[in-house]
Amino acid sequence: MPIVLAIDDDPWILATFRKIFAQTPELRLWTATTAQQGIEIVASSPPDAILLDINLPDVDGLETFRRIQAIDARIPVIFVTGQGTTESAIEAMKLGAYEYLLKPLELPQLRQVVDRALAISRLMHVPAVMAETEPPDDRADAIIGRCPAMQEVY
């Protein structure tokens, strides 16, 4: 069952997320009200996608994103903010954010973005499989290597 972690200090936003995702029983929503709580959750049991507010009470959302990436860079992070600036949006995307949404949220759009992020997350966690017997196609570039580091690259 896919898990989405919402990190936001606004109880109304978290309640809205609960309402939106309650309509999807095959998805589980976890919440955190501080960056530290969210980071601890990611470190102990990484979710499949994260909804992250830019303005958190303890640590800036961009710094929180950096810390999450240090734990697992494969988790798609969707920034959700009501006080976003062009600079923060550009910085978030440079750092590798999956999406940057502004509040008030369009709920169908949020669901679509989360669904796409979960699909990407599934693909990011499936190991690459290479045929043992099939000769490489001479027309294509080949990446050779079976060590864990190369499997991560694949």
CA distance 92 to 79: 8
Phi, psi of 31 (to 5 degrees): -130, 155
pLDDT of res. 104: 84
What pLDDT, in 10s, does the model give residues 96-143? 999 999 888 888 899 999 999 999 998 876 766 665 665 555 555 566
What pLDDT, in 10s, does the model give residues 38-95? 999 999 999 999 999 999 999 999 999 999 999 999 999 999 988 777 888 889 999 9
pLDDT of res. 131: 59
pTM above 0.85, yes or no: no
The Cβ of residue 55 has, within 10 Å, a number of other Cβ atoms equal to 14
How does residue 149 score in pLDDT terms, banded at 50, 70 and 90? confident
**All domains of the chain in start order, with CATH:** 3-128 (3.40.50.2300)
CA distance 139 to 89: 40
